[in-house]
Amino acid sequence: MSMRKPYPSDLTDEQWELVEPVITAWKAWHPSVSGHQGKYAMREIVNAILYQNRTGCQWEFLPHDMPPPGAVKYYFYLWRDEGTDQDLHDLLRWQLREKRKRLADPSLVVLDTQSIHVAVGVPATTTGRDAAKKVPGRKRCLAVDVLGLVVAVAVLPASAHDNTAGIALLGGVAAQTDTVRKALVDQGFKKKVVEHGENVGIDVEIVERNPDDKGFVPQAKRWIVEQTNGILMFYRRLVRDYEHRPASSRSRVLWAMTSVMSRRLTGRTIASWRTA
């Protein structure tokens, strides 16, 4: 750790101990030809990614006492493309589930989508308009377990039907684990999702809304995905989609949940932007 004053988003020593093995293993697989260990500490690179995720700042607005934007970008994109962000995220998810006295992988997931506005400059070819919610942008799609931990994430144009989102998520869940047997979805998901679930060995149940309910009424078990969406909104980089590539948007979700899970594993909290 450098001698700089820490930011609230920084990993504590205890949290870094959770993250460090994955980063060290990655470094071992990417040795420098000259034997050079790199100019910047990996912990500071991770802290810079978490800082940007939490504050929503542009690359060039990263604080001067952190590694330069070019170095942070390099690792963010490389870890995204090589799946290191996924490896780190999954390791913490397994550890947190086991800490909560559950098996490492779930048997049930909950699926949902959230349409997000995009920033100026995001390629129009990767966006669309959600006709139902009247939102132009992208659709963030999550499959979470009963603890609200992300098992699969997909980012699509907002114009994509929930069927497309559901099929992508079920495929992601099946690729992650063979333990999931049931998925709960809302009425936006249709028969095609149920049929795809059968193909990958997952029973998809469409949870019907009670017609007598007025306004927003949380549905048993399905509410947990709404809670996860709400938690992600504390990470300002996720409030609006700033990423040119959907793969980067997906990576942002993984990093946000990595921050969440590292804090839950170590019993730490971080002040929300609502805190006075």
Check residue 207 and give its pLDDT: 87
Q: Which pLDDT score is estimated for 211?
A: 60
- What does the alpha-carbon distance between residue 6 and residue 27 come to, in Å, rounded to a whole number? 24
Segments of the chain scoring below 70 in pLDDT: 1-2, 33-37, 209-220, 271-276
pTM of the predicted model as reported, rounded to 2 decimal places: 0.92
Helices (H), 83-161: 84-99
The string of pLDDT tens digits covering residues 192-205 is 999 999 999 999 99
| pLDDT (0 to 100) of residue 217 | 53
Please give the pLDDT value at position 1: 47
Q: Based on the number of CB atoms within 10 Å of its own CB, is 55 exposed (0-12), middle (13-18) or buried (19 or more)?
A: middle
Q: Could you give all domains of the chain from N- to C-terminal order, each with its CATH number?
A: 104-243 (3.30.420.10)
Question: What is the per-residue pLDDT for 187?
Answer: 86
CA distance linking residue 251 with residue 249, whole number of Å: 5
- pLDDT for position 268: 85
pLDDT score of 270: 72
Q: DSSP secondary-structure letter at 268?
A: -
Q: What is the pLDDT of residue 222?
A: 83
Quote the tokens at residue 275: 């805190």
